[in-house]
Chain A
């Protein structure tokens, strides 16, 4: 009895077949609610021009699947160019954060220097500052630096995030002090300790930062909407909202556009989800 209890999950522990069935049924209902809208959008994008998308008797599977709507999107707006623009911005942001946050996080966690507490305090203070508050002045700064209406201008402010610096600091703090002392005794300098001791043990947090930074850059809307003006420089989200105003009359085209923005991040996330959930479990996001 005692043994059996210990192996049971804390809450909602249903060892009975009935309980298990109820659990999986609930999960399936939630599944339908979370992915249902996305599947409906996918289905709409694949319906041919002759099929009534507004039908009063909704059909999830297209009667005559067609990719015509995707062709229509690319003829209306340069959607491949938009996707490339989003990719460029996201790569800048991921690269910048991996390098910048690693370096600063390591120094703040593992090196002693005058002013460390002050620097740490500044990063912490930044966390309470929502990006939307500073967006106007940032816009002015980026424009004055000469990066207005450019992809670099879109990427620039988020290339090193304060939160990522603190996450990396947490990850490096987790390295046992004895390990580092041994490395010091062996004559390893700061760079070697960061390379051979720090990076391997912070892999989980690094992958979480890479995944979240990529998604955030790919999905961002307000900032690129403010920075970008030229139609050929728009990122996918801004380009989509442009398509939206031009083409709101045709749900198929709109649906195809949203799928082009949605599917790449979903595929990327699914491919990397192991690292994500493991990294999160390592304490990267602490409650």
Chain B
């Protein structure tokens, strides 16, 4: 019935397939090949076996980057898994101005990470709004070094990541909440379950699939953090480069006329395994749920 000249579908698929091949599949293969070479931006380079990988393990910045990522994930995953759900519940109901709140809560998502980091840099400056207000309230006596202390800088980057992510995951939860069965809430309410009780026994189980997805997305995104730390930490990842991320190391290695593309590729391969790990976990989880 839906038979036709067989070239038509291929004609339609061809551009997308070409893009996929040139900009996704080929770079993926090529990255792994490059990781075994000492290719530079302007020179061909040659095969050097596992040298890049052994260099990687001696790089103290890599250890910092992985530690930072783990802390990032440990804080971001629980916060960004639950806060947006509460937010979605707040704006879910059809009440006056809900459309306005949804739209405005999505504003930080739309903003570029660079812009967000610049705004927060201004907020968190020694003489910025946060320190000013805290000093006025008498909570602190001298300014907190949000942008220069190793851990405070990392937590500042986490704070702005949570701030920027709230609206995005709120929207994911909004579409999932539509599937939570109302009868269950009614039954629970008739049985005398309060709001908190019903949140844990009806809402959370109802959106568990989305929660798993959201948690994995946050974990993967924590692995990919770049602009936030790049801007907040002043291009180097804080003083002494202790607040670097994995992507920042890749960018640093590849930058400039004499960028070490081979070494950057080895770091990319590591990034691949670290991000695909959580995704495979998610896939397994989904299969078990089905």
Contact = CB atoms under 8 A, between A and B. Distances in A.
Nearest to B164: A34
A91 interface: no
B50 interface: no
Nearest to B39: A140
A226 B257 CA distance: 11
B1 interface: yes
B90 A116 contact: no
A286 interface: yes
A133 B227 contact: no
Nearest to A145: B22
A72 interface: no
B62 interface: no
A221 B4 CA distance: 44
A30 interface: yes
B34 interface: yes
B115 A258 contact: yes
B108 A107 contact: no
B132 A55 contact: yes
B122 A255 contact: yes
B119 A38 contact: yes
Nearest to B5: A190
B136 A57 contact: yes
A221 to B, nearest CB: 5
Contact of B1 (A133, A141, A184, A222): A184
Nearest to A104: B16
Interface of B: 1-4, 6, 8-10, 12-13, 15-17, 19-20, 22-28, 30-31, 34, 39, 87, 89-93, 95, 97, 99, 101-108, 110-115, 118-120, 122-123, 125, 127-129, 132-133, 135-136, 163, 166-167, 171-180, 182, 185-186, 189-190, 195, 198-199, 202-203, 207, 209-210, 213, 220, 223-224, 226-227, 230-231, 235, 247, 250-251, 254-255, 261, 264-265, 268-269, 271-272, 275-276, 279
Interface of A: 5-6, 9-13, 20, 23, 26-27, 30-31, 33-35, 37-38, 40-41, 44, 54-58, 99-101, 103-104, 106-108, 110-114, 116, 119, 122-123, 126, 128-130, 132-141, 156-157, 159-160, 162, 165, 180-181, 184, 189-190, 215, 218-222, 225-226, 236-237, 240-241, 244-245, 251, 254-255, 257-258, 261-262, 265-266, 269-270, 273, 277, 280-281, 283, 285-287
